[in-house]
Amino acid sequence: MKSLIHIFYMNKSLQAFNTFGIEASAGQLIEINSVAALQAVLPDIKTPFYVLGGGSNILLLNDIKGTVLKMSIPGIKIERTFKHAVYLSAGAGVNWHKLVLFAVENNLGGLENLSLIPGTVGASPMQNIGAYGVEIKDVFHRLEAVEIATGKLKIFRRKELAFGYRNSIFKNKLKGKYIITKVWFKLSKPPHRLRLAYGAIKTVLKNAGINQPTIRDISDAVIKIRSEKLPDPREIGNAGSFFKNPVVDAGLFAALHRQYPEIPHYPQADGTVKLPAGWLIEQCGWKGKRIGDTGTHVRQALVLVNYGTASGAEIHALAVKIRESVRQKFKITLEMEVNIWH
Ligand code: FAD
Ligand code: NAP
């Protein structure tokens, strides 16, 4: 069994394993490099236990007395090539942006708008990661996961995952039941369908004098926008958007629009309206505010930050205060997107 487990640590600091840079420890941290290693270790894990990818969407509130399984299964493979499509697979531990760059380098379309999202392939279906008008559900084919209770491998197809806005079955009905080990994507061969609806992408391409963009141009534009706007976790601890953008019904939106005619809004196909949580938070006066070593980012109020030595509990307390001010001002209860590890 031991030869299958790559690295095993006792009382390991998790500070370098979460992009908030929170200091907390794990009783055991086991790095998993293969499905066989995962199946071998599952019967012996200590509870409470957690599954860790790149740690870019978690907030650690306490030390973890049990086991943390760090998913490091490698491998990117072109599985099958058809006239118009290519099936690509990647191990759960593959860095997400590396997968995007692999696709762009091989002129495979569909992932380019998702450039520079931190984290791993294995975590990408958890919240159906999305950015700049694309979600992984648009290119997802299937995934392989190990059932925690039995150690058995199971294949999940797209329709089984109940993908929604920053949501999937793994955040609801199957929460804590499976560990994702591999994901398959269906990508396009040229000519690609380009997704240019987000204004910022159009602006960058226009400024660069690009009229007929390639998927590489889109990837480069997204990298440029993100690098300029979002804080780099290597410089300021953060986990991206702390809350989801709320989607409200037409009635509540109409009332808000009367009161705040300038409110940015994005009508959805089902008649509901998506509102940018960052704007709501900014209107409550939180943008760029700092309390101790916690705060909201100066360029994007939706991103909560750790300026150095903030604890998970301090960041959580700030999030609760922000949620309460938005609720009082707009009658909207923001939902936390970041996974809280108690
Ligand atoms: P982790 O943070 O390690 O884990 C997240 C959750 O998934 C945890 O509950 C964990 O237990 C679970 N998990 C992880 N791996 C597995 C696995 N193999 N099997 C089962 N469960 C698992 N998100 C977006 O959607 N769009 C963005 O544009 C975006 N931008 C970001 C920008 C910044 C600067 C940062 C810091 C974050 C951003 N995020 C964004 C959030 C985050 O990067 C994504 O949610 C990402 O998919 C998390 O991957 P991870 O490997 O770091 O997951
Ligand atoms: P932004 O461009 O300032 O826009 C604010 C919000 O408005 C976005 O979150 C987006 O919702 C929505 N929006 C903007 N243009 C839209 C359009 N044409 N159609 C529909 N909705 C539109 O956002 P940002 O903070 O710089 O982020 C840019 C993109 O990266 C967004 O897609 C965002 O989701 C993603 N991002 C996500 C995270 C995370 O942790 N989840 C962190 C950073 C960036 P959507 O979120 O639904 O796209």
**264-299 confidence digits (pLDDT tens):** 999 999 999 999 999 999 999 999 999 999 999 999
Name the residue with the closest Cα to ligand 2, atom 21.
266
pLDDT bracket for residue 4 (50, 70, 90): low
Hunting for tokens 């759960």 — which residue is that? 92
Q: Which residues are tagged catalytic?
A: 166, 241, 337
At residue 1, the pLDDT reads 45
Tell me the CATH class for 6-71.
Answer: alpha beta
Long-range contacts of 169-174 (CB under 8 A, 24+ apart): 170/125, 170/126, 171/126, 171/127
pLDDT at 33 over 70: yes
153 lines ligand 2 (CB under 6 A): no
At residue 6, the pLDDT reads 65
CB 114 within 8 A of CB 212: no
Tally of helices (H runs) and strands (E runs) in the chain? 7, 20
Pocket of ligand 1 (CB under 6 A): 19, 50-58, 71, 92, 117-120, 122-124, 126-127, 129-131, 179-180, 230, 233, 238-240, 339
pLDDT in tens, 9-26: 899 999 999 999 999 999
Topology of the domain covering 76-188: 3.30.465
pLDDT at 2 over 70: no
Best CA proximity match to 277, nearest among 338, 222, 228, 322:
322
pLDDT in tens, 96-137: 999 999 999 999 999 999 999 999 999 999 999 999 999 999
Mean pLDDT of 188-213: 95
- CATH architecture observed for domain 237-341: Alpha-Beta Complex (3.90)
Domain ranges of the chain: 6-71, 76-188, 237-341
Mean pLDDT of 34-49: 95
Angle, to 10 degrees, between the axis of helix 215-229 and the axis of helix 96-105?
Answer: 150
Q: Which of 226, 274, 283, 339 to mutate to test the pocket of ligand 2 (most atoms within 8 A of CB)?
A: 274
Best CA proximity match to 104, nearest among 203, 173, 190, 199:
190
Which ligand 1 atom sits nearest the alpha carbon of residue 181?
18
The percent of residues in the chain predicted with pLDDT above 70, rounded, is 98
pLDDT in tens, 150-181: 999 999 999 999 999 999 999 999 999 999 99
At residue 9, the pLDDT reads 87
